[in-house]
């Protein structure tokens, strides 16, 4: 009886060790559940940005450098470098080094052009920011110049004429406003998707997409949009710059030079896309303005 009881204890001990190992293996091998506030099966993870930023923050742009460093644009206070430890402001028009930009008004989006070089948009104009040299200035203009009445194009007009050029030729004062800017490192082209707005009435007169060369300046191409009401909150260039993915409200659209926006994804209605960026691992980063969150998902 004693020997039998000892064998039984040893057997139970072995079974306990095996069960414990299996439980541990299952715990390590099972994927972590998605955050409670992230729709399961849609986003890989969610980062709450609110604790990193001022209470008045209005998140309108996300950028990722070639090294994978993330930067966040707050419409009210400037550009932040974000990391696991928190956020550090690296640019504001109120900073002494950039005081010459204080009159440009609100910034609406940002995209990385390199390690410490960015393109940012404001009403009518796009700017380049170099954090290394602490310099910034006008870079590309999405309010295209009117043709020179003498017949010299001067690099201003685009073909076909943009909505703003057509209206200004009629004596109607307009402004251009975009909420999205993208850059393709493959073809070195910039993209902005503005609406044309009458200054006197505030009426939206058209929606277009402009393409710029790596030298900035005036647009080299104009892509028409089927609806004047379409305005993207974020945009990324994919497929070597031949295709764009645009986010508006809680939806993603794809388009190219020959095809208007086609819806490819729809997220939870609570999400308000105010920025898009491609992570270095290929993930699509979605900036949710309403929830002040950064969400990661697959591109398609």
Residue 1: pLDDT over 90: no
- Scanning 75-212, the segments in alpha helix (DSSP H) are 163-169
| The Cα angle at residue 228 between residues 225 and 229, in degrees rounded to 5 | 110
Residue 205: pLDDT over 60: yes
CA distance 174 to 204: 10
Provide mean pLDDT across the span 232-259: 93
3-state secondary structure of 186: coil
Residue 241: pLDDT over 90: no
Question: In this structure, which long-range contacts are made by residues 167-176, counting pairs with CB atoms below 8 Å and at least 24 apart in sequence?
Answer: 167/196, 167/198, 167/205, 172/198, 172/200, 173/198, 173/199, 173/200, 174/143, 174/198, 174/199, 174/205, 175/123, 175/124, 175/143, 175/199, 176/123, 176/124, 176/142, 176/143
Token pair, residue 82, equals: 């974000």
The domains found in the chain, sorted by start residue, are 47-297 (2.120.10)
What's the whole-number average pLDDT of the chain?
A: 85
How do residues 53-107 score in pLDDT, each as one tens digit? Answer: 999 999 999 999 999 999 999 999 999 999 988 899 999 999 999 988 888 888 9
CA distance 235 to 90: 23
Q: The whole model's pTM is what?
A: 0.82
What is the predicted pLDDT for the residue at 259?
86
How do residues 112-154 score in pLDDT, each as one tens digit? Answer: 999 999 999 999 999 999 999 999 999 999 888 886 665 555 5
What is the predicted pLDDT for the residue at 150?
58
Give the pLDDT band of residue 20 (cuts 50, 70, 90): very low
Would you state the torsion angle of the CA atoms of residues 206, 178, 209, 239, taken in this order, to the nearest 10 degrees?
-150
């Amino acid at each position: 009886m004693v020997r039998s009881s000892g064998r039984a204890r040893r057997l139970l001990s072995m079974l306990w060790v095996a069960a414990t190992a299996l439980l541990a293996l299952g715990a390590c091998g099972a994927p972590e559940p998605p955050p409670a506030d992230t729709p399961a099966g849609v986003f890989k993870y969610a980062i709450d940005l609110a604790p990193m930023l001022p209470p008045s923050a209005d998140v309108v742009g996300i950028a990722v450098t070639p090294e994978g460093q993330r930067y966040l644009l707050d419409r009210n206070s400037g550009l932040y470098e974000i990391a696991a430890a928190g956020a550090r402001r690296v640019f504001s028009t109120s900073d002494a080094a950039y005081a010459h930009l204080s009159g440009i008004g609100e910034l609406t989006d940002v995209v990385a052009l390199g390690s410490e070089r960015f393109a940012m948009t404001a009403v009518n104009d796009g700017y380049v920011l170099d954090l290394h040299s602490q310099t910034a200035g006008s870079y590309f203009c999405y309010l295209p110049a009117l043709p020179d009445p003498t017949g010299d194009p001067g690099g201003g007009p685009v073909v076909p004429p943009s909505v703003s050029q057509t209206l200004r030729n009629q004596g109607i004062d307009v402004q251009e406003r975009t909420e999205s800017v993208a850059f393709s490192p493959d073809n070195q082209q910039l993209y902005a998707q503005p609406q044309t707005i009458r200054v006197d009435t505030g009426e939206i007169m058209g929606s277009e997409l402009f393409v710029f060369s790596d030298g900035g300046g005036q647009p080299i191409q104009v892509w028409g949009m089927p609806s004047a009401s379409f305005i993207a909150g974020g945009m990324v260039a994919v497929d070597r710059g031949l295709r764009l993915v645009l986010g508006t409200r809680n939806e993603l659209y794809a388009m190219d030079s020959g095809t208007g926006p086609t819806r490819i994804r729809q997220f939870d209605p609570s999400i308000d896309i105010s920025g898009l960026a491609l992570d270095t691992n290929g993930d699509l980063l979605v900036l949710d303005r309403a929830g002040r969150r950064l969400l990661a998902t697959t591109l398609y």
